[in-house]
Amino acid sequence: MHSPSEQDYIQQLSIDCVIFGYQDSQLSVLVPKLNFRGDFCALPSGFIYQNEGIDQAARRILEDRTGIKDIYLEQFRVFGDAPRSNIRFLERLIELNEDKLGDKRFDRKEFDWITRRFVSIGYYALVDINKVVPQKTELDESISWYPVRALPPMIMDHHEMVHSALETLQLNLDQKLIAFNLLPETFTMREVQELYESIFDRAFARNNFQKKILDLNVLERLEKKFTGAANKAPFLYRFRNEVHAQASTDVGAA
């Protein structure tokens, strides 16, 4: 097991990341599964080096897991209840994996360090799912995307974290105009709408949605996209990044 050099990190403080991606009309979250019996899933997380800012630490963790350097991310909440600790999950893990752990994969010191009460800073990230090459750590059996409304069981309060992240995303989406971080470079209006619908979990009227988005004046219309389907070809759009736009109206209410 990877042994954190305890003194290099801030003690009892961690970062957990909710990494959102979008594919097949589904808002999804990237979740690793630990390589132990018992199906333990846990959000990508890590600690903060002494000489490292918290946003910087979050970026490092995100880059380790996605391979992407420039990632949109945001703090959404700190989780810090008094009894918040890994201990119950780790005890259960050890119980179910006595054999695997025989070769002292946890020493006592390490176990004490990792099972102390932890305060965790929640970050959410928005990525273009096509750019992501999900990275396992040596502890992971797998890492994959789960629809945000069909997540696997997760340890501790990680399920609540995703819920809280999604809530914050919904609140910020129109204000900060960040949805396009979830889409590839170019996209059709239908794709934008389906993205919004999957984030808000409700339908929008097509005509009015298109008007609202275009009225934001942040999209550049490109050539048509011929899909091979027997219907009118939609335009492709690109987000004009230079425009730090005057987002004022809520598309969420369209």
Question: The tokens of 122 are what?
Answer: 């929640």
User: 207 or 241, CB closer to DNA?
Assistant: 207
Which chain residues interact with DNA by CB under 7 A?
188-190, 205-208, 210-212, 214, 224, 226-235, 249-250, 253-254
Shortest Å, Cβ 113 to a copy of itself? 13
Compute the least distance from the CB of residue 82 to a copy of itself, in Å: 4
Q: Which is nearer to DNA, 3 or 208 (CB)?
A: 208
36 or 49: CB nearest a copy of itself: 49
Work out how close the CB of 191 gets to DNA at its nearest, in angstroms, rounded to a whole number: 9
Q: Residue 62 Cβ, how far from a copy of itself at the closest point, in Å?
A: 16
Q: Find the Cα–Cα–Cα–Cα dihedral 200, 123, 174, 221, rounded to 10°.
A: -100
Q: How far is the CB of 179 from DNA (least distance, A)?
A: 17
User: Residue 156: left if φ>0, alpha if ψ -120 to 50, beta else—which one?
Assistant: left
Q: State the nearest-atom distance from the C-beta of 192 to DNA, in Å.
A: 10
Q: What size, in residues, is the chain?
A: 254
- Out of 88, 109, 117, 224, the residue judged to bind a copy of itself by CB under 8 A: 117
Q: Which is nearer to DNA, 108 or 232 (CB)?
A: 232
Q: Applying CB under 8 A, does 5 fall inside the site for a copy of itself?
A: no
Residue with tokens 């992501």: 132
Binding mask 58-87 for a copy of itself (x = CB under 8 A): -----------------x-xx-xxx-x---
Q: CA-to-CA distance for 161 and 123, rounded, in angstroms?
A: 9
d(CA 26, CA 207): 22
Q: How far is CA 94 from CA 66, 91, 113, in A?
A: 28, 5, 16
Concatenating the DSSP letter of every residue in 157-213 gives THHHHHHHHHHHHHHHHHHHT-GGGGS-SEEEHHHHHHHHHHHHTS---HHHHHHHH
Q: How many positions of this chain bind a copy of itself (CB under 8 A)?
A: 24
Cβ(153)–Cβ(43) under 8 Å? no
Token code pair at residue 133: 């090459």
Task: Give me the residues that bind a copy of itself (CB under 8 A), please.
Answer: 10-13, 48, 50-56, 75, 77-78, 80-82, 84, 117, 119, 121, 171, 175
